[in-house]
Structure 1
Amino acid sequence: MKCTVFVPSHITGFFEIVEHHNPLIKGSRGAGVTLNRGVISQVNVTDGNGEIIIKTNGSNYPLEGSVSYKTLDLLRKQFPEEIRWDEKKITIHHQTQVPIEAGFGVSAGSALGTSMSLSKLLKLPLTYNQAAAVAHRAEVELNTGLGDVMGAVMGGFPIRLEPGAPGFGKADRLLDDKVTVKGYEKDFKDINFEDIKYKSIGKDGGELYVISKSLGTIETSSVLKSPEMTRRVNKVARELLGKLISSPQISNFMDLSLEFAQKTGLIDEEVMEIVEVMKEETIGASMAMLGKTAFSISQTPDSSVEGVMVAKVDSCGCRFF
């Protein structure tokens, strides 16, 4: 039995860490954007002797510390009798379309791909949100992320209003989406639903692009485990969410993201130099949280910055192939 899931990468612009003893309620408030590049997970379940194989981009990945293995293990503990785990061979292949440990939510993509695929293949009694909640819990318990699972599930420009996993937290999104049919807007009554495509659209009717340039990695857990960094992040972030809700525009989201990056001190001079160039050419630019990556939202795929990655805004969220 085989299943394939695509999870859009999620870039966080700003965030507030919210602690809680329950990992399903622990998480973050904040806002971000999802890309049509992300993590493609193919999971294969056959008869076997309990063997588990996890690969990322073709290379074997150690089980210890793996968010994919943590997700599988949580499912195994939640359903110890419903599935004969010791009689299965589970192979998980992740193909990443974005840099790892650079602020694109790859760990959330891996966890979601694992949870969604196994829930479907093994016919586990879980809804979409319940399966996603397992991925969120895996991220929280490993300190690899706090809000990327919710963002990847929502799609578009997610706003995390209250912390927690899907089904526990509360989220909204910026109103950037329109229904288009073969590239043209139509009245609802005239739509042929077989032709519907969902796109994130700029004011001129063109699609929105996410342009990014990665300069290195930041280990997310090193930031999330630091009490001093938590205090600094939360002090800056607390007011930003209210400002975005008061003016829910993409340009405002990007301005607030840059304000967050600068006031927290998370952005360094090297990334800031690229952000300043991107800011002049696009709707806005900032640093991806948490990664040494500059990103911008643009109405064109063009950039004077060399070696950028260009993606489109993804409005559909996590989905099966």
Structure 2
Amino acid sequence: MFIPGHITGFFTIHRERDPLRTGSTGVGITVDKGVITEVRSGKGKIYFNGREMDLCPIREVLNNIGIKGYDIIHRSQLPLGCGLGISGGCALGCAYELGKIINPQMDKLELLKIAHISEVRCGTGLGDVIGQYFGGFTIRRKPGFPLDVKKINIRDKNRYYIVIEVLGRKETKDVIEDPNWIERINRVGDRLLKEILKDPTLENFMRLSYVFAKETSLASEEVLSLCEDLSFSRGASQAMLGNTLFVLCTDEEIEDVLSVLKNPITCRIYEGKHG
């Protein structure tokens, strides 16, 4: 089961006692690199790119589904903990694969809920799995469930690349559970959500993502400097929440973008739906 990577450009944080109603509003996009999940008979071990790891969201999915005797194997083209939705992709892929074992006709929306609850409880994400469920360019207008998501049609999508440069890791939990960060993020994110709904284009998404990264002070100086160097592109900003740069560019700009970066990961926009 392949689940695409997901990049959030800007967001707000909403917490309720019910984890299904906890989540984020915001805007993001899926890319054609992500994580492949397999389930095999075993002893309940979890592997990520060949290394045994105790990934909290996967353990939560296993506990929520209540199934034993299987190993979970993840193979990813993108790293964990860098704002690329990989923990969410692991959780969603795991839920889908285990769901096939329990009941091949099981509603994918119910499996999405399990993945979302797992991310919320582990503090690893608030909305990635929802973006990954729909695929493409999405606006999450309300947090959690019931879902309120607007999927934006991308004209000439094959013209575009998303180029990623991972500069380091950042702990999502350190931000989304800190009251000071929450107040700042929500103040800026609420305003920008209204703006994107008036003009829901990729270029406006990138512009507002940069505004969010700068005004919230979530962006590192290294990311902001690279954004200036890449001002000739269709937009550059920091993937939330990670110390990771992402750039939107066209066929005409791709070579110049790659020349600026040290370790670029070149992606296309992925619009496949997993619901």
TM range (shorter): over 0.9
For 1:32, what is the secondary structure of its paired residue? Answer: strand
1:126 shift after superposition: 3.1
2:43 matched to 1:43? no
Residue 22 of structure 2 corresponds to which residue in structure 1? Answer: 26
Deviations 1:137-177 (A, max 9, x none): 00001110000000111111111011104xx2210122205
1:19 shift after superposition: 1.4
Q: TM-score, normalised by structure 2?
A: 0.94
For 2:141, what is the secondary structure of its paired residue? Answer: strand
Identity of aligned residues (%): 34
> How far apart, in 2, do the equivalents of 1:22 and 1:70 lie?
16
The runs of at least 4 aligned residues of structure 1 exceeding 2 Å deviation read none
Residue 239 of structure 2 corresponds to which residue in structure 1? Answer: 288
1:124 shift after superposition: 6.7
> How far apart, in 2, do the equivalents of 1:318 and 1:94 lie?
17
Residue 310 of structure 1 corresponds to which residue in structure 2? Answer: 266
Of 243, 248, 263, the match for 2:195: 243
What residue identity is the alignment partner of 2:79?
Answer: P
Deviations 1:157-198 (A, max 9, x none): 111011104xx2210122205xxxxxxxxxxxxxxxxxxxxx
Contact 1:8 1:318 in 2 (8 A): no
What residue identity is the alignment partner of 1:170?
Answer: D
Of 200, 205, 211, the match for 1:259: 211
Alignment of 1:107-118 (within 5 A): 107-118=87-98
Gaps of 5+ in 2: none
Instruction: Sort the Cα spacing of 1:124 and 1:137 in 2 relative to 1 into closer, same or farther, 3 A.
Output: farther
Residue 153 of structure 1 corresponds to which residue in structure 2? Answer: 133
Of 47, 59, 62, the match for 1:55: 47
What residue identity is the alignment partner of 1:228?
Answer: N
2:159 matched to 1:207? yes
Contact 1:174 1:250 in 2 (8 A): no
How many residues of Structure 1 are paired with residues of Structure 2 in the alignment? Answer: 270
Alignment of 1:131-170 (within 5 A): 131-165=111-145, 168-170=146-148
Deviations 1:289-316 (A, max 9, x none): 0000110111124322232110000000
2:62 matched to 1:72? yes
Instruction: Sort the Cα spacing of 1:287 and 1:149 in 2 relative to 1 into closer, same or farther, 3 A.
Output: same
Residue 4 of structure 2 corresponds to which residue in structure 1? Answer: 8
Residue 106 of structure 1 corresponds to which residue in structure 2? Answer: 86
> How far apart, in 2, do the equivalents of 1:318 and 1:278 lie?
33
Pick the structure with greater CA Rg: 1
For 1:28, what is the secondary structure of its paired residue? Answer: strand
> How far apart, in 2, do the equivalents of 1:59 and 1:99 lie?
13
Aligned-residue RMSD, C-alpha: 1.5
Q: TM-score, normalised by structure 1?
A: 0.81
> How far apart, in 1, do the equivalents of 2:19 and 2:223 lie?
32
> How far apart, in 2, do the equivalents of 1:110 and 1:150 lie?
13
Could you say which structure has the higher helix fraction? 2
Contact 1:6 1:318 in 2 (8 A): no
2:271 matched to 1:271? no
Contact 1:25 1:169 in 2 (8 A): no
